[in-house]
Amino acid sequence: MTLLQVDGVTKQFGGLTAVNNVSFSVEEGQICSVIGPNGAGKSTLFKLISSFLVPTSGQVRFDGAQVSGLKPHVAARMGVVRTFQETTVFKEMTALENVIVAHQLGLQSRTLGVFLGSRLARDENAAIRDSSSEILDYLGLGHVKDERAVNLPHGYLRALGIAIAMAAKPRLLLLDEPFAGMNPDETNRAMEMVQGIRRRGITVLLVEHDMRAVMNISDWIVVISFGSKIAEGKPEAIRADEAVIAAYLGEDDLELGH
C-alpha cells in the first residue's frame, strides 16, 4: 500500500528553484532513501515532506490525505514525524524527560485534567513513563536515561533525537541525514537502529548523503540532483545508473556502495 505520495512538488525561493517537480511514492513498511550530491535540494525536499515548508506547487499526500501546507504539529498528529540534523534535542532535560515530553499525541486527558491531577491524567503519565523507558531501552539509551542531554556524547544525541521522534508514534518516520559525521562503526550501529525501527512497523524515509549506508538498508532509492529527480529504483539499479554516477562525479567521496 502506498503510504506517502510526493506529487509534482516544486519549491521556489525568490527566483531560485530549489526543488523542481519531484514525484515519488513510499510503500508502507519500506525503508526509502532520498540521496543526492551536496546542494541538490535534499534538505528542502525533506522540509516539504515534513510540512516545515509549503510547496510552491504540487502536493504531498499521506495515507490518501494531503499533508503539504499543514502546520508541522498537525502533520505529526497524522503520523508524519521528522528528526533533525545533528544534535537537536531538549538540551536541559534528561534523556528520559526528553522522551516523556515527546509523548504528546494520542492522549485523552486535557490541560485542565492534567492541572487537577485527574485519575486519567495520572494513569496516562504512568503509561508515558513506561513507554519512554521502553523506547530508550530499545534504542540502547537505557543506561543514560537520567543523564542531562547536554552531558551526553554526540552519538547518543543522534539516537536520542530518534527516540524523541519515536515517542510521537509515527507511521512514517523522516530521518534527516542520520549517518552524517559518523565513522563506519557508528554507521553500522545506526543502520541496525533504522532496521529495528522498521521492524516495529514504522515506515522510514531518510535523506542522506552517505551512499554506502543507504545502499545497504534501503528498499527503494530516489536520487535528486539540482532539485530534480534523476533516478529511482532498487539499490542495485541505482548503483549501475549512468545518470547517478555522472551526478556524483566530481564529488570527493565517490563511493557507490562498497
Partner 1 sequence: MATATDPAPTRGEKRVLGPFLLIFAPLAAVLFVAIPFVLADMPYWLNVVTNACLLSFASLGVWLTFSIGRVNIAQGAFCLIGGYTVGGLTTFGGLSFWLALPFGGAAAALVGYIIGYPLLRLRGIYFAMVTLSLTEAVRLAFLYFGTMVGVTSITSIPSPPGITSPMAFYLFAAALLILGYAGIWRLQSSRTGGVFRSMRQNEELAASIGIDVARYRVFAFTICCFMGGIAGGIFAALQQNVYPQSYTVADSINFMLYCFLGGLEFVLGPIVGTFALVVSFELLRAIQEYQALLYGILMIVVMLFLPNGLLSFFPALKRLSGGRK
* Cα-based angle 226, 161, 109 (whole degrees, multiple of 5): 120
User: At 167, is the secondary structure helix, strand, or coil?
Assistant: helix
Least Å from the CB of residue 170 to partner 1: 9
Q: By CB under 8 A, is residue 72 in contact with partner 1?
A: yes
Taking the least distance from each CB to partner 1, the nearer of 64 and 106 is 106
Q: Which of 165, 206, 7, 176 is nearest to 75 (CA)?
A: 165
* 8 Å CB contact between 159 and 140: yes
Q: How far is the CB of 105 from partner 1 (least distance, A)?
A: 5
Closest CA to 19 of 28, 47, 29, 31: 47
Cα separation of the two ends of the chain: 31
Q: Of residues 153-212, which lie at the interface with partner 1 (CB under 8 A)?
A: 164-165, 167-168
Cell for 112?
485542565
Q: Would you count residue 73 as binding partner 1 (CB under 8 A)? A: yes
Candidates 121, 157, 159, 231: give the one binding partner 1 (CB under 8 A): 121
Q: Pairing mode, if any, of strands 220-225 and 31-35?
A: parallel
Joined grid coordinates for residue 100? 516523556
Rounded to a whole number of angstroms, the minimum distance from the CB of residue 154 to partner 1 is 17
Q: At 158, is the secondary structure helix, strand, or coil?
A: helix
At its nearest, how many Å lie between partner 1 and the CB of residue 127? 9
- Pattern 83-102, partner 1, x by CB under 8 A: xx---xxxxxx---x--xxx
Residue with Cβ nearer partner 1 (79 or 227): 79
CB of 100 or CB of 238, closer to partner 1: 100
Q: Which amino acid is at 231?
A: A
Interacting residues toward partner 1 by CB under 8 A? 50, 52, 71-73, 76-77, 81-84, 88-93, 97, 100-102, 104-105, 111, 114-115, 117, 121-123, 125-126, 128-129, 164-165, 167-168
